[in-house]
Amino acid sequence: MNANTEKRIALISVHGDPAIEIGKEEAGGQNVYVREVGKALADLGWQVDMFSRRVSPEQETIVQHSPSCRTIRLTAGPVEFVPRDQGFKHLTEFVQQLLQFQRENHIIKYPVVHTNYWLSSWVGMQLKALQGSKQVHTYHSLGAVKYKSVDTIPLIATKRLAVEKQVLETADRIVATSPQEQQHMRSLVSTKGYIDVIPCGTDIQQFGSIDRETARAELGIASDAKVILYVGRFDPRKGIETLVRAVNQSQLRNSGKLKLIIGGGSTPGASDGRERDRIAGIVQELGMSELTIFPGRLGQEILPTYYAAADVCVVPSHYEPFGLVAIEAMSCGTPVVASDVGGLQFTVVTEKTGLLVPPKDADAFSVAIDRILLNSAWRDELGEAARKHIASKFSWGGVADKLSQLYTQILNTSILEPMLVGK
């Protein structure tokens, strides 16, 4: 293999398009992860092709992010948005399109295929079987954990759990983004397989580029306001209702200084649109409309300003494998109050960069938020520690560096080749 093909890598993210605007339906942490990892790997000398599904005729087929990094959109199934739980039936076509792209571009094979989320893991397993590519996989969310916290288990669940087990047992390496996620894989999925812990990252130049006063002036927020921020999708599992009820119980509730910002995009009539309406209904019912703002989708260019303007950022998810919002906020010097679950236990150092509280517990969230809002010197101390914590452990450059070492290691060794377990 010549040096050019040697450093070629395919990042596969079937339902999380790395080139899409973040905050669109089902676009969040995974999309950011794939794009930023791809760009940072290209900076390290890799030729990076990122594959995703095309969801509208207006979308370009190829988006060039940098000379060595591009997103390639394949047509698998209808050229429209398909919810992730309905995506499996289009994967065979996705594999065929990917192989077709390789043929047309004279790419013999991708030595390393790094798959993201369970749908992509299936695609990666096919490429491993057909072409002998080495497979690295990041789950982003584990069915075995997720299905414990939802009321209705989707029809695809059995298939998903089987695929998640198979990839853990057959991939050359699994990347867990936190020790907690690694533990879940071992206790709930399989004791077989090779797992490395490499966290997600954030752009520490972009997040942390503006101070609180400037940010507030830009957004028209009073300098003495007490600002609580939520950023993320509208989804019942994100725990926004808990946050709203917690703020309603705050000691500052009637001070005239409290401001709750609930940032995130939604599509009327879609599942996120229905959840947004439900949350807005609770806000109204509790008489909180005066102090609550729904700014809609916060694009990457304005997001750091919102984080910087906040006194505290709240991540009330019921389940969060990593929690990108928490590290973005901390990178901006804003302390975080988060659910004591999953990857948040790894990224938020309680009492040092923020506070961890039991999920779904409005009383506990209320107490934690007030502790920070009522002590501005401590808030500043937490924020400063948070910024340092992220800069030292979670930059995208550092993450890509660890992944690059991992890819090089598995390309240079076949000793780790696990036994292919039958389906």
Q: What is the pLDDT of residues 271-283, one digit of tens each?
A: 999 999 999 999 9
Domains of the chain, each with CATH number or no CATH: 3-201+396-411 (3.40.50.2000), 212-393 (3.40.50.2000)
CA 146 to CA 322: how far, in whole Å? 13
Contacts of residue 340, Cβ cutoff 8 Å, sequence gap at least 6:
350, 356, 357, 358, 359
Contacts of residue 142, Cβ cutoff 8 Å, sequence gap at least 6:
164, 181, 184, 185, 188, 189, 321
At residue 24 the predicted structure's pLDDT band, cuts being 50, 70 and 90, is: low
Mean pLDDT score across all residues of the chain: 92
Burial class (CB in 10 A: 0-12, 13-18, 19+), 2: exposed
Lowest mean pLDDT among 3-12, 112-121, 378-387: 3-12
At residue 27 the predicted structure's pLDDT band, cuts being 50, 70 and 90, is: low
Region 47-58: what's the mean pLDDT?
Answer: 96
CA 160 to CA 16: how far, in whole Å? 17
Give the pTM.
0.80
C-alpha angle 243-249-252 in degrees, rounded to nearest 5: 105
Q: What does the pLDDT look like over 163-218, one tens digit per residue?
A: 999 999 999 999 999 898 999 999 999 999 999 999 989 999 999 999 999 999 99
Confidence at residue 414, expressed as pLDDT on a 0 to 100 scale: 59
Confidence at residue 254, expressed as pLDDT on a 0 to 100 scale: 95
Residue type, 300: Q
- Candidates 182, 171, 197, 25; CA nearest to 112 is 171
Q: What does the pLDDT look like over 159-177, one tens digit per residue?
A: 999 999 999 999 999 999 9
417 pLDDT more than 50: no
Residue 337 near residue 365, CB atoms below 8 Å: yes
Q: What does the pLDDT look like over 221-272, one tens digit per residue?
A: 999 999 999 999 999 999 999 999 999 999 999 999 999 999 999 999 999 9
Region 31-53: what's the mean pLDDT?
Answer: 95
Confidence at residue 419, expressed as pLDDT on a 0 to 100 scale: 41
Confidence at residue 413, expressed as pLDDT on a 0 to 100 scale: 81
Confidence at residue 415, expressed as pLDDT on a 0 to 100 scale: 44
Confidence at residue 392, expressed as pLDDT on a 0 to 100 scale: 87
State percent of the chain over pLDDT 90. Answer: 83
Q: Which pair of tokens denotes residue 114?
A: 């790094």
CA 411 to chain centroid, in Å, comes to 27
CA–CA distances in Å: residue 362 to residues 29, 255, 262, 368, 379: 25, 20, 16, 10, 21
Residue 121 near residue 171, CB atoms below 8 Å: yes
